[in-house]
Amino acid sequence: MKDRRPHWSERLKVTLWTLIVPPTIWTGHFLFSYLWASISCAKAGQFATFPTLFVVGTVLALILIALSGWIAWNQGRMPGGSTPHEDSTEIDRLRFLAKSTLLLAGLSFVAVLFTALPVIYLRDCL
């Protein structure tokens, strides 16, 4: 298996930039929640009575976060180096970034859910 072609999720290297993808999606979703609620209130006088667009946006955000979490999980298990993976080598740095991305993805996933639930439940614009 030495010369197998790396899976695309392994080729797409995590970096400090991809680390912030899950929290950025969370930020975007948070902003989207407020925009959606305020535009619904202004145009229709109420919100969460027709939350199709909001649910689609939330599911999209959750899928993207889960996807980046999955990529990070895959890369966090890249072979190479030895435990406890704390040297300043390429592979250890990658594993560290991947693990951090995975944890941030978990946090962002829960945060998006916790933002979306009140929006869907509450419908009073006042």
117 binds another protein (CB under 8 A): yes
118 binds another protein (CB under 8 A): yes
113 binds another protein (CB under 8 A): yes
Q: How far, in Å, CA of 55 to CA of 36, rounded?
A: 11
Q: How far, in Å, CA of 65 to CA of 1, rounded?
A: 30
16 binds another protein (CB under 8 A): no
110 binds another protein (CB under 8 A): yes
Task: Compute the least distance from the CB of residue 83 to another protein, in Å.
Answer: 12
126 binds another protein (CB under 8 A): yes
Residue numbers 88-107 binding another protein by CB under 8 A: 106
Task: Compute the least distance from the CB of residue 117 to another protein, in Å.
Answer: 6
Q: Which two tokens stand for residue 107?
A: 């946090």
Name, in order, each residue with C-beta under 8 angstroms of 30's C-beta and a sequence gap of 6 or more.
Answer: 111, 115
Alpha helices in the chain (DSSP H): 8-11, 16-19, 21-44, 52-75, 90-121
53 binds another protein (CB under 8 A): no
Residue 59 is which amino acid? Answer: V
